[in-house]
Amino acid sequence: MFLIDAPVKPERVKLMNPVVLAFVGDAVYTLCVRQRLALSSGEKTGALNRRAAEKVSAHGQSEALVRILPLLTEEEADIFRRGRNAKKPTKSKNASAGEYARSTGFEALIGYLYLTGQPQRIGELFFPEQE
């Protein structure tokens, strides 16, 4: 399911800029959402794209975050906070500053979990209905 050849050591990933982790996490989350929508629906691509956009938006990610925050380990919470508090090179056009910051933390956490070879944890946290 995941494309990474081998997990990266957590120590190395923790040294990465959290915005870079969010860059990876955005792609991974988008792929997971699209895959799950494609496999669970007979809708046409236009409808699938609208549904995916709702989930991968800063607003959608911020809402999902409310559900998962109590489930995070201390290490995961630290990665999220680093992403949330990181200086971002761009501003969101369609989300509040708070939503955008939370979504960056959300994506950084997914990037961290992906790069460290924890796809099952991504599923547990972000897609529990599929587990």
- 34: CATH: 1.10.1520.10
Residue 7 in any domain: the answer is no
> With contact defined as beta carbons under 8 Å apart, do 116 and 35 qualify?
no
Scan for tokens 């109590």, then name that residue.
Answer: 70
Q: How far apart are the C-alpha atoms of 120 and 117, rounded to whole Å?
A: 9
Residue 51 in any domain: the answer is yes
Q: What positions carry a catalytic annotation?
A: 26
Residue 1 in any domain: the answer is no
Query: What single-letter DSSP state applies at residue 15?
Result: T
In three-state secondary structure terms, 41 is coil
Residue 54 in any domain: the answer is yes
Write down the pTM of the prediction. 0.89
Phi, psi at 91, each rounded to 5°:
-115, 150
pLDDT tens, position by position, 60-108: 998 889 899 999 999 999 999 999 999 877 777 777 888 889 999 999 9
Can you read off the two tokens belonging to residue 52? Answer: 């995916």
Residue 105 in any domain: the answer is yes
Residue 8 in any domain: the answer is no
Quote the number of domains for the chain.
Answer: 1
Residue 2 in any domain: the answer is no
> With contact defined as beta carbons under 8 Å apart, do 82 and 18 qualify?
yes
Question: What residues make up the domain containing 26?
Answer: 20-126
pLDDT tens, position by position, 25-61: 999 999 999 998 999 888 899 999 999 999 999 889 9
Residue 131 in any domain: the answer is no
On the question of pLDDT at 3 being above 90, the answer is no
Estimate the crossing angle of helix 45-56 against helix 18-40, to 10 degrees: 140
> With contact defined as beta carbons under 8 Å apart, do 25 and 112 qualify?
yes
CA angle at residue 106 from 101 to 112, to 5 degrees? Answer: 125
